[in-house]
Amino acid sequence: MPETGTLRLVAGSAALGLALSAGSLAAAGPWDNGQRKAEREWAAVREATGGAHHGDGRAEAGPRAPAAAPSAPGVLVAAGTTASAPDARALAAALDPLVKSPALGTAHSAAVVDAATGRLLYGSDEDEQLAPASVTKIATAVAALTALGPEHRISTPVVRDGSDRLFLVGAGDASLDDARLKRLASDTARVLGRGARVALAYDTSRFTGPVRHPLGVNPNIAPVTALTVDEGRLDGSDHGPAERSADPAKAAGERFAELLRDEGVRVDGVKPGKAPGGADPVAATASPTVAELVERMLTHSDNDLAESLARQTALATDEKPDFDGSARAVQAQLDRLDLPGSSRIADGSGLDRSGRLSASRLAALLARAAGPDHAALRPALTGLPVAGFTGTLQKRYGKGSAGTGLVRAKTGTLTGVNTLAGTVLDTEGRLLSFAFLTSGTTDPQAAQHALDTLATKVAACGCR
């Protein structure tokens, strides 16, 4: 028999995921850590009791997943469009004592918004700008989805100039891994022919400016360059802190040369170089969709993907593809949404402590992503970690917590800064968005527990 926590994930978080995609775009991609698997299982439960047939529940091959059946009222109720919203005074009575916890430091900004109407239900210094840390990635996600579209893919090409010069052209795809690079080498060798002889150059000109984040050398992020493989990781990991290559582009070029040689191509040296205009295409590899990249970035708090997506946003909006230009590009996309509150984006990942966001703007942004008129933003919600199950919330909620499986949120942590922002289904099935930002914290574990307690209270408080 399934454990209670598993049932809560399927019936809560999964219902949320399908309800959000009702009649609109559902993000494509792998069902990360069981998060989307649970949503498929919930769809299967709904199909057993009625509604249109949507197949056997396996991952879709195409870029679009099926929308929820219009005749599945239970799922739509879970989205929060028919249950009444919590009473603002009752919610304040429940949250005010928790917001005042000493564990939350010397300053805070808190907001809870009704996703169905966009109405602010609770606020405590909600317009105060504080350092957001990694919840900045929610803004980066929305900006990339808006500027690029959820189905956009980043293509990394190999070209040649008509002689024996071959160029591996970095396109800023932080998801490029060794397996894809190997397939690219195989495709390239097939075109060149076994025994071909080339000189290889790697082109990083798509990005400009410093490659080092202002944070400096840090295991949480590699040098930001247009060409990297496995995020420059040297330990075989695929997320989290790791030792990184000091020159990911050079390492990628050398690895590609090695793979070409394995395919029978003779490579005479590897060096940096810009591909000439009009060079002949040889082969290319495409990234997962932006929707999938956004989801992975949020689930695993992937700083490399965040900075890559911010620069892709800059390129799509005619900003400079450097740290400053990408920050301006993300900020511009937020400004276009005409949200309450304020923000000052400093980077794509939130590692830069000079960035600022107010809880009112962040909670409103999440509510906007749930709206029927912004279906393309849905991956900014479906990528959020599920409390007690996935990503950075996997170990932060116990089996007995009322928030387990119902809270989906992005975490943020810097020294003295702890944040949490996401969505929750309350006891009546109403979808609410929330943002809790704190600064001046001295005990990160206590601060995280206090933030989780706030989110759990929003989930458990009927407040009607």
Tokens of 121: 């239900």
- Final residue of a domain: which of 264, 287, 310? 287
253 and 163 belong to one structural domain? yes
223 and 98 belong to one structural domain? no
303 and 348 belong to one structural domain? yes
Among 109, 301, 308, 326, which one carries the catalytic annotation?
301
Q: What does the radius of gyration of the chain's CA atoms come to, in whole angstroms?
A: 23
Cα–Cα distance for residue pair 59/37, rounded to 1 Å: 9
237 is annotated as an active-site residue: no
Task: Give Cα separations from 92 to 97, 140, 403 (angstroms).
Answer: 9, 30, 18
434 and 371 belong to one structural domain? yes
Q: Is residue 440 scored above 70 in pLDDT?
A: yes
- Note whether residue 83 is domain-resident: no
pLDDT band, very low/low/confident/very high, at 102 (cuts 50, 70, 90)? very high
pLDDT on residue 400? 82
Among 137, 401, 433, 457, which one carries the catalytic annotation?
137
Cα–Cα distance for residue pair 359/435, rounded to 1 Å: 5
Cα–Cα distance for residue pair 40/65, rounded to 1 Å: 10
What's the average model confidence in pLDDT over 279-289? 97
Tokens of 176: 């490029």
Among 134, 175, 343, 358, which one carries the catalytic annotation?
134
- Note whether residue 82 is domain-resident: no
pLDDT on residue 332? 98
Task: Give Cα separations from 414 to 130, 134, 138 (angstroms).
Answer: 12, 8, 16
Q: Is residue 69 scored above 60 in pLDDT?
A: no
432 and 321 belong to one structural domain? yes
Q: Is residue 15 scored above 80 in pLDDT?
A: no
Cα–Cα distance for residue pair 81/84, rounded to 1 Å: 8
- Note whether residue 438 is domain-resident: yes
pLDDT on residue 81? 55
301 is annotated as an active-site residue: yes
104 and 163 belong to one structural domain? no
Which residues have CB under 8 Å from 189's CB, separation 6+? Answer: 196, 260, 263, 264, 265
Tokens of 256: 């590609």
> Out of 28-42, 48-62, 172-186, which region has the weakest mean confidence (pLDDT)?
48-62
Q: Identify the domain containing residue 59 by its residue range.
A: 4-77
- Final residue of a domain: which of 233, 262, 287? 287
Q: Domains in the chain: how many in total? A: 3
> Out of 50-64, 329-343, 435-449, which region has the weakest mean confidence (pLDDT)?
50-64
- Note whether residue 35 is domain-resident: yes
303 and 450 belong to one structural domain? yes
247 and 171 belong to one structural domain? yes
Residue found under tokens 């920050």: 327
242 and 278 belong to one structural domain? yes
Helix %, strand %, coil % of the chain (to 5): 40, 20, 40
In this structure, the strands spanning 165-169 and 197-203 are parallel
- Residue of 59 and 396 predicted with greater confidence: 396
195 and 100 belong to one structural domain? no
- Residue of 54 and 372 predicted with greater confidence: 372
- Note whether residue 380 is domain-resident: yes
What's the average model confidence in pLDDT over 214-226? 95
CATH number of the domain encompassing residue 387 = 3.40.710.10
pLDDT in tens, 234-281: 999 999 999 999 999 999 999 999 999 999 999 999 999 999 999 999
Q: Is residue 59 scored above 50 in pLDDT?
A: no
248 and 166 belong to one structural domain? yes
- Note whether residue 434 is domain-resident: yes
- Final residue of a domain: which of 54, 77, 100? 77
409 and 381 belong to one structural domain? yes
CATH number of the domain encompassing residue 279 = 3.50.80.20
According to DSSP, residue 10 is labeled: I
- Note whether residue 239 is domain-resident: yes
